[in-house]
Chains A and B, each alone.
Chain A
Amino acid sequence: MKTDAIVIKEVDNVATALRDIQPGEEATVGMGETVKRVRIQGAIPYGHKFAVYDIVRGEDVLKYGEVIGRATENIPIGTHAHIQNIESLRGRGDLTSGGH
């Protein structure tokens, strides 16, 4: 079925919008073979991400099953997840050794 957003790997805690989604909409999110419904809290532009679980401040943000950054504040489910609440981990000494 057609969905409004996609989760790349099932462990991911963010989805990517496949169309502009309006506040208050219940978005359908494709997660592999299953579909989850998420109430959207703010406008999500096409190609942008939103939380599909409550993400707490300091928690890793996962896409592609990998860490793409860290939450700088709580990101409740359905909320826009972008540069205002995610920071890059690039350049952190404990992550550039490649052995963790």
Chain B
Amino acid sequence: MGFKGYRRPDGRVGTRNDVGILSTVVCANEVADAISSQVRGTACFMHQQGCCQTPVDIRRVNDTLSGLGRNPNLAAVLLVSLGCESTAVEEVARRIGDTGKRVETVVIQETGGAARSIAEGVLAAQGMVQEASRWERVSCGIDELVLGLKCGSSDTTSGLAPNPALGIASDRVVEGGGTSILGEVTEFIGAEHLLARHAENPKIGQQILDLVKRMEERAKSVGADIRGGQPTGGNIKGGLTTIEEKSLGAIAKAGTAPVRAVYEYGVAPSVKGLVVMDSPGREPEILTGLAAAGCNVIAFTTGRGAPQGFPFVPVVKITGNRRTWEKLRDHMDLDVSAVMEGAETLPEAGHRIFQEILEVASGKLTKAEISGYTKAMDIYMVGPVI
């Protein structure tokens, strides 16, 4: 069992074969978007960062853009730079090029404005797409899957059907030798000691606890306590009794595999199996972080219906809410609401999710890819804009 993917020069496997148009700074977004809109086969990544930030965050922009460019779902990369930004554009180009893929850069201030840069970028991207079109899918094992886990716009159904079912699918990926990445550290709160217990060793367990503490400290530093009033009145009315129960519903999507490592935001895992990555829960930042870490497919559970995908990583939307499935058909890929009705077991739903992940990895398009609902992305920053 496996899927058909694109085996890249660095040995990693892509599930898509896009040419990435990556903006290196917020000021270059318009040009990157214009280039991409004129060249079929490209995927554009835009964000709000890259200038007037602390060195910590600029380093993160460099690392994240490098990680995105290195993602095996991209056959080649065109960087679109303004010219005066803080982002280390040459370093990013070199780090992407180290994978063996073609990288070119258009610099707006050198080329002479948006119009000329768009023309130059379109020509470069056309050539890259033509080259990329020669790649063929080959048979790949489950061990080549790097699955990102995410839940958003959750409701009562999330912790009962889609999350535990995704956990079963994630366990299948890990059993097959693949990688599964759990982010959303904010949603570990209240269940971190339980997640830490699933760590492969006490050191990794402590790293998980430290990660949660750091996330709490970040919230406290602006005078807020994210743990206050949890579970909320609405949660209690919906049947959630304790904060442990609420967070367990969220981390259920990671299944039962041991946590093998803990990584900073956007860092590509050097081990296989289930790993934890520092990230907030908000969609633009976590989806970018998972893509930068090398995820070639992302599974995203939702209750009320979160709409977005990611420009070049397929995001499979799974809901356990029948109403959301019926009302948001243009955003949802898989319906597991039969579990909520007692008509399907969790193992059956988990199996369907696993099969869908394999089909999507082999090329089946997700709704977010078809609709192109992928533009509002960003990079997770820790400091202020200065």
Contact = CB atoms under 8 A, between A and B. Distances in A.
A96 B202 CA distance: 13
B245 A63 contact: yes
Interface stretch (B35-43, B52-60, B233-241, B274-282): B233-241
B244 interface: yes
A98 B205 contact: yes
Contacts of B347: 32-33
Interface residue SS majority, chain B? helix
B194 A90 contact: no
B342 A4 contact: yes
A83 B342 contact: no
Q: Residue among B196, B238, B245 with the most chain A CB within 10 A?
A: B245
Contact of B241 (A4, A30, A49, A96): A49
Interface in A29-58: 30, 32-33, 45-49
B268 interface: no
Contacts of B101: none
Interface string B53-97: 000000000000000000000000000000000000000000000
Given A28-B342, A32-B346, A64-B252, A90 B241 contact: no
A64 B167 CA distance: 11
Contacts of B248: 63-64, 66, 68
Nearest to A31: B345
A3 B194 CA distance: 29
B156 A47 contact: yes
Contacts of B205: 98-99
25 contacts: A8-B346, A16-B160, A18-B340, A28-B342, A33-B345, A33-B347, A46-B156, A46-B239, A48-B239, A61-B241, A63-B245, A64-B159, A64-B249, A67-B194, A69-B244, A86-B242, A88-B242, A89-B242, A89-B244, A90-B242, A90-B243, A97-B193, A98-B193, A98-B208, A99-B196
B12 interface: no
B206 interface: yes
Interface in B154-180: 156, 159-160, 164
Contacts of A100: 197
Given A8-B252, A66-B194, 18 more contacts: A5-B342, A18-B340, A18-B342, A47-B156, A63-B248, A66-B191, A66-B248, A67-B194, A81-B241, A88-B243, A88-B244, A89-B242, A90-B190, A95-B193, A98-B193, A98-B208, A98-B209, A99-B202
Contacts of A95: 193
Range for the number of chain B residues in contact with chain A: 35 or more
Interface in B243-286: 243-245, 248-249, 252
Contact of B342 (A3, A47, A66): A3
A16 B343 CA distance: 15
Contacts of A5: 342
A3 B208 CA distance: 37
